[in-house]
Amino acid sequence: MARTDPTAELRAIRLEVERLVALAQRLAEENRSLRLAQEQLVAERAALLAKSEQARSRVEAMITRLKSLEQNG
């Protein structure tokens, strides 16, 4: 059975832990960024739905007026 150098083994473990910490930090930042983007998209979608509803209401009102004019005309 081959003996390993404890110092080298500890160094390798330390490097792996540092790599994992850096990865966790990068993933946490990416997660924050994605959550912010999602919040912005949800807000944008809500604004677009409101505009769509306003447009639909205006079109319905115009149709009602046109039908009224047609009946009175």
Q: Where does residue 24 rank: exposed (0-12), middle (13-18), buried (19+ CB within 10 A)?
A: exposed
pLDDT value of position 34 = 98
Read off the pLDDT of residues 17-65 as tens digits, 9 standing for 90 and up.
Answer: 999 999 999 999 999 999 999 999 999 999 999 999 999 999 999 999 9
* pLDDT (0 to 100) of residue 49: 98
Structure tokens at 7: 């110092």
